[in-house]
Amino acid sequence: MPQAEHPDTVGTMPAEAEMGLGALAERLEPLGNGRFRLDGAAGWMQGRTMYGGTAAFIAHSAARLAFPDLPPLRAAQVGFVAPVGEHLEVEVVMLRQGKSVAQVETSLICDGAIAQRTLWLFGAGRESNGTVAAAVLPDLIPPEDSPRLTASDFAPAFTARMDMRRADPPGGSPHGTIRRWVRLKDRSGLDPIAELVGIGDALPPGSARAMERMGPISSITWALTILGDVPPTREGWWLLETRSNHMSHGFSSETLRLWNSEGLEVMRGLQSVAVFG
């Protein structure tokens, strides 16, 4: 998760940094025994560590490559252990595969040490025993009518790979809340769920709006749930929101929500964030 508000475009970037997420996944090199190597992820960094959504996307892509017959992703628990660099290895382990549910563990390894560890839950659909529909957001302001963000020298490098627009509701967002329309500039080679994993952590935490002094912010954990089948969205736009549930003593509990262009909620998460400064 980044530390500052994001512009539509941030500066110029080297050619290698122009790779979209799909191109990154194609660069995963199999090493055998559930291990993969990725050399070079420039343009997806935020300071000394990789953007959390990209790191999670790489891990998810490696899990799919290691076990191509996995059912759809239902949930994940991501642990950000240490900074993730541009060059890394991924280790994929099948923890358990049942009749309909598979649990897979991935570890991102940088300089010989674990930098991220994730538990992925994949599950095939079964006959429903009751239903609860996902919430639809009222009073939705479409991205076409939302103002673009202005460029900022403090925006992380990876934000240049995305378009972002303000999406605060009428009257403004509640205290400790950030809401933005977000879309990837390059969506080629992505299935809908992989796209959500890659984009779902793109906003700063809502606690950034409650900070009394400027300082670093760092994600510690990210638990996410996919709300059923992923519906289509118009022109790649997704509405993201981060909201601090409680912030004190250097930590914030954050709820992350993601809707499609019609306001249908498709993913929800809970995140622990360290607040410095």
The enclosing domain of 217 has a CATH number of 2.40.160.210
Residue from 230, 243, 198 nearest 59 by CA: 198
Per-residue pLDDT of the chain (277 residues; tens, 9 = 90+): 544 443 443 334 445 556 899 999 999 999 999 999 999 888 899 888 999 999 999 999 999 999 999 999 999 999 999 999 999 999 999 999 999 999 999 999 999 999 999 999 999 999 999 999 999 999 899 999 999 987 665 678 888 899 999 998 877 888 999 999 999 999 999 999 999 999 999 999 999 999 999 888 899 999 999 999 999 999 999 999 999 999 999 999 999 999 999 999 999 999 999 999 7
Check residue 151 and give its pLDDT.
63
For residues 184 and 203, the answer to whether their CB atoms sit within 8 Å is: no
Domain residues for the domain of 230 are 15-124+135-275
**Any domain includes 4:** no
**Any domain includes 140:** yes
DSSP 96-128: EE-SSEEEEEEEEEETTEEEEEEEEEEE-----
User: Three-class SS string for 25-53?
Assistant: HHCCEEEECCEEEEECCCCCEECCEECHH
Check residue 214 and give its pLDDT.
86
Check residue 6 and give its pLDDT.
39
**Any domain includes 32:** yes
**Any domain includes 256:** yes
**Any domain includes 2:** no
| Partners of 119 in beta bridges | 77, 105
d(CA 216, CA 167): 24
**Any domain includes 111:** yes
Tally of structural domains, the chain? 1
For residues 134 and 227, the answer to whether their CB atoms sit within 8 Å is: yes
d(CA 178, CA 63): 31
What is the arrangement of strands in the sheet containing 87-97, beginning at the earlier edge strand?
A: 29-32, 35-39, 87-97, 101-110, 113-123, 73-80, 217-226, 265-275, 251-259, 238-248, 177-184, 162-166
Backbone angles phi, psi at 194, to 5 degrees: -60, -35
Amino acid symbol at 212: E
d(CA 218, CA 250): 11
Check residue 9 and give its pLDDT.
37
Check residue 40 and give its pLDDT.
85
**Any domain includes 82:** yes
**Any domain includes 9:** no
Residue from 222, 204, 182, 216 nearest 59 by CA: 222
Tokens 């300082």 belong to: 215
Where residue 236 falls (left for φ over 0; alpha for ψ -120 to 50; beta otherwise) is: left
d(CA 40, CA 17): 9
